[in-house]
Chain A
Amino acid sequence: MNYFPDEVIEHVFDFVTSQKDRNAVSLVCKSWYKIERLSRQSVFIGNCYAISPERVIGRFPGLKSLTLKGKPHFADFNLLPYDWGGWVYPWVEALAKSRVGLEELRLKRMVVSDDCLELLSRSFVNFKSLVLVSCEGFTTDGLAAIAANCRYLRELDLQEIEVDDNRGQWISCFPDSCTSLVSLNFSCLKGEINLTALERLVARSPNLKSLRLNRAVPLDTLQKLLMRAPQLVDLGIGSFVYDPSSEAYIKLKATLVKCKSIRSLSGFLEVVPCCLSAIHPVCQNLTSLNLSYAPGIHGNELIKLIRFCRKLERLWILDSIGDRGLGVVAFTCKELQELRVFPSGVDNAAVTEEGLVAISAGCPKLHSLLYFCQQMTNAALITVAKNNSNFTRFRLCILDREKPDPVTMQPLDEGFGAIVQSCKRLRRLSLSGLLTDQVFLYIGMYAEQLEMLSIAFAGNSDKGMLYVLNGCKKLRKLEIRDSPFGNTALLTDVGKYETMRSLWMSSCEVTLGGCQTLAKKMPRLNVEIINEDDQMEFSLDDRQKVGKMYLYRTLVGPRKDAPDFVWTL
């Protein structure tokens, strides 16, 4: 390859798209490093504190798409104080100052202010796509700035966001000249929305493929929107409250029949627990169905709906479907690849090991699972492992903490052991139920491809954590809460943490002294102790157990924006 001109090599590199592959390519030689970095357009930063914006921009001046992740995963469950960090403003500021022609920004678990959105909207002429997942810190004013200023906006996608202030007029800020929208998702916004402005926006967006509405959009508006956008592929219904005899409903039924392109359906944020027969015509073509935000739909209605969904590949649902409903899924959805069953909180609704066994038997293509259940048995897990060795993601959450196998009263070590032994391509695993060190022995032995492991209320001793750290060579993220792992486990192989993105340990047995030792030995790790209630003001005893520790590798040292309660050792 040495005697090809750079342009040719660059052209070859155009076909290398995955970040992993491009990283590998850049390590071959200096010349390839240079060609690769100048031609890279899409950069993924898994931990925004591992590197500085200036260095990213310096290395990839041609960058057009940036993905950033901020807070650790357990922040989703309120384990991290509100203002721990993850502000994206410095990144946007640095990008704005440089000559980067940013077109796409995807953020997860970061804090985004209105000022930041304003700056973003004004700084990049060709900005096209903004995707915010599980972010916070902004109001609809920020959205208004994006709408008003991004002339070629194609995608505005808000997922699982709690926006406090909500005034609904931001949708009117899209100028009449904006006709480029392809994807608009504001389903998580709680307040009112200007319906007329929304209708006009959809009417002038011929390329619109994905539209997810919030609960403030009523049925008659939905019908009008569908009339204007029959080309929709992905629909998120806001409010599905209606009177079955009303004209609006009859019209909607007719319109839905015409929407032959819809492949993905979600929402039903407000729903009357009555029949959903209007949806049935759409079901036969669906590949993705998300009813996990719709506790108003009863189990029986769900089952009726599922019977029509033969092509389903992805299903997100509440446990109100029950084991019986999962049996119907197993019977009907032979193409199913991803299943998520969330808790609905209704007492008798929960699913058990029966549903999971049925699914594993009936859905041969299933490889991604998130399953909240009342109970699980070893026998069931062993059966699942026999039925299906394709799992790449297996996340099981038994709602009752540390619950053993209800039949044998044994820990679930053997069951999970069977899963990791059988599923050789397993990359992500979450454990629950009663578990001893034994399960970690199995994980260390068999889970060779494991990249992310979540542990809660499990294990007996340091050995457990050591089995994992020693055995899982590809481990990148380890998060542990309320488990008896202490300094020995933490300090036995300190070099391991530089091969990982991050480690979270809360309510474990590690002490301040242990963390300090680690921090001293590994200068390229940030070891953060997160103190709540101003505990730092009191005496600092080495033997004191640490409430929350989050450590991650970094090239730029301790972060300068850490709040008072975060102590970087």
Chain B
Amino acid sequence: MEGCSKTGEQACPQLLDLMAKERREWRVMRDGEASSSEEKKLELRLGPPGGEDKRWSLKDSTNRERDAHHHQYLLSLGYFSSTNNSNNNGFSFLHHHSSRSLPVMAKESSQPCCTKVADLQSPAEKKAFLSSAPAKNTAVPNSSQKRTAPAPVVGWPPIRSFRKNLAGASASKLPASESPNDVPSKTVNEKPAHEPGRKNPFVKINMDGVPIGRKVDLNAYDSYEKLSAAVDELFRGLLAAQRDSSAGGIVNKQEEEKAITGVLDGSGEYTLVYEDNEGDRMLVGDVPWHMFVSTVKRLRLLKSSEVSALSREKCKTRYWLD
């Protein structure tokens, strides 16, 4: 699979993707016109219980909006996991899922994988959405929303992140999370060790000549070397595919995917640059890692030959066009 390292676990994300998509489409067929609200509550679904019924009843076939919400919920859940938590596998798969769904859908064949994935999915799903007990998905919920602890949602409760971070920095127990009443659960009990001031650890990364971008979780790395290795992993396959297609579709199956190296010191074919919080384009590697993480907004792999033509721009001229 493209862009995927070769461990069996890493192969799962694509399958999980498919399952999620399948599930939504299934619900479309089932819902048809007006399924009763009771029925809707009884459905197995990916998402926080109660209140969000409306969003998950599909009237149209496009899933983009769902993806957006899905992504949102996943991201906010992702806040609770640290990358060291082995139970986190469910999360990281689901994270990768949302940003990679397009290439996967184009390539993936379907049926045989699904049944297997169903098994993989449900425990992961249960872990992923453990904020409500898994039984809730199937039990008839009380219509008065007596939830034990609702899944966190972006922007709720409505307090400024400045307040959340402040409390987190001092000696109190206020979690730097979306919900002040933290989810009591065994599987997710670690707060992320995420940088103060780093509101969204996922940054986009694009590469010259490759139309599809990726997203990286900066909290997963603690040095430029590790970031560089991850970048190589993410784009090596995509770049090779791009070369294949630009060579007129003559696919040379023997051709090895070339490693992307030297992105930090200018010695490779590509150089890693970033856009900081002031909108300036900067070379990666100059400042201490933690400072980089807190100021980086986007990453890009430029052809090294173009790097010398960098110039400072004020106020958001759009050089980040894909």
Interface residues of A (CB under 8 A from B): 74, 76-79, 82-83, 87, 89-90, 113-115, 134, 136-138, 160-162, 164-165, 188, 190, 269-271, 273, 292-296, 342-347, 372, 397, 399-404, 409, 434, 454, 456-457, 481-482, 484, 507, 509, 532-535, 538-539, 541, 543-547, 561, 563-564
Contact = CB atoms under 8 A, between A and B. Distances in A.
Given A78-B154, A404-B145, A533-B71, A162 B165 contact: yes
Given A114-B278, A188-B162, A564-B321, A481 B200 contact: no
A138 B276 CA distance: 11
Contact of A164 (B174, B294, B316): B294
Given A82-B200, A113-B314, A344-B180, 18 more contacts: A77-B154, A77-B161, A78-B161, A293-B166, A295-B167, A295-B170, A343-B180, A345-B181, A346-B173, A397-B158, A401-B51, A456-B158, A482-B51, A482-B153, A535-B64, A541-B62, A543-B62, A545-B60
Which of A270, A534, A546 has the largest number of chain B CB atoms within 10 A? A534
Contacts of B295: 164-165
A454 B157 CA distance: 13
A509 B173 contact: no
Interface in B273-322: 277-279, 291, 294-295, 297, 314-316, 318, 320-322
Nearest to B320: A564
Given A83-B297, A344-B167, A547 B65 contact: yes
21 contacts: A76-B161, A78-B161, A115-B314, A160-B160, A160-B163, A162-B162, A164-B197, A270-B170, A273-B171, A292-B163, A295-B174, A343-B180, A344-B167, A402-B50, A434-B144, A484-B54, A533-B67, A533-B68, A533-B99, A546-B65, A547-B65
A77 B174 contact: no
Contact of A400 (B60, B150, B196): B150
B186 to A, nearest CB: 17
A477 B99 CA distance: 34
B107 interface: no
Contacts of B83: none
Contacts of A401: 51, 145, 150, 153, 156
B60 A481 contact: no
Contact of B68 (A90, A372, A547): A547
B172 A296 contact: yes
Contacts of B174: 295, 343-346
Given A164-B294, A296-B170, A89 B158 contact: no
Which residue, B65, B98, B179, B200, has most C-beta atoms of chain A within 10 A? B65
Contacts of B64: 535, 538, 544
B316 A561 contact: yes
A215 B155 CA distance: 27
Contacts of A137: 277-278
B45 to A, nearest CB: 16
A399 B181 contact: yes
A237 to B, nearest CB: 14
A269 B166 contact: yes
* From B98, B173, B297, residue with most partner A Cβ within 10 Å: B173
A76 B278 contact: no
Contacts of B147: 400
Overall SS of chain A's interface: loop
A271 B172 CA distance: 10
B59 interface: yes
A161 B251 CA distance: 54
Contacts of B67: 533, 535
A77 B294 contact: no
Contacts of B314: 89, 113, 115
B175 A345 contact: yes
Given A78-B155, A545-B65, A547-B68, A160 B170 contact: no
A164 B62 contact: no
Interface in B81-124: 98-99
Which of A90, A270, A343, A344 has the largest count of B CB atoms less than 10 A from its CB? A343
Given A342-B163, A345-B174, A87 B62 contact: no
A483 to B, nearest CB: 9
B23 interface: no
B60 A113 contact: no
B226 interface: no
A510 to B, nearest CB: 11
A163 B281 CA distance: 19
Interface residues of B, number: 64
A519 B301 CA distance: 38
B286 to A, nearest CB: 13
B159 interface: yes
A404 B68 contact: no
Contacts of B69: 507, 547
Is chain B's binding surface mostly helix, strand, loop or mixed? loop
B6 interface: no
Contacts of A89: 314-315
B180 A399 contact: yes
Contacts of B99: 533
Contact of B156 (A77, A87, A563): A77
Nearest to A87: B315
A343 B315 contact: no
Closest 7 CB pairs of A and B: A345-B174, A295-B172, A77-B155, A345-B180, A543-B60, A545-B65, A343-B180
B173 A345 contact: yes
Which of A74, A78, A161, A269: most chain B Cβ within 10 A? Answer: A78
A402 B51 contact: yes
B218 to A, nearest CB: 14
A218 to B, nearest CB: 15
Contact of A372 (B54, B157, B171, B196): B157
A77 B172 contact: no
B199 interface: yes
Contacts of A397: 157-158
B68 A532 contact: yes
Residue in B59, B64, B181 with the greatest tally of chain A CB atoms within 10 Å: B64
B155 A113 contact: no
A532 B215 CA distance: 13
Contacts of B166: 269, 293
Interface string B40-53: 00000000001110
B157 to A, nearest CB: 5
Contact of B158 (A76, A83, A543): A76
A350 B145 CA distance: 20
B201 to A, nearest CB: 13
Contacts of B153: 401, 482
Contacts of B196: 190
Contacts of B160: 76-77, 134, 160
Contacts of A484: 54
Contact of A456 (B156, B180, B278, B297): B156
A412 to B, nearest CB: 12
B67 to A, nearest CB: 7
A87 B173 contact: no
Contacts of A539: 62
A57 B169 CA distance: 43
Contacts of B68: 532-533, 535, 547
Contacts of B51: 401-402, 457, 482
B62 A78 contact: no
Contacts of B279: 83, 113
B170 A269 contact: yes
A273 B60 CA distance: 56
A559 B316 CA distance: 13
A563 B320 CA distance: 10
A507 B159 contact: no
Contacts of B52: 482
Output the residue of A82, A292, A295, A547 with the most chain B CB within 10 A. A295
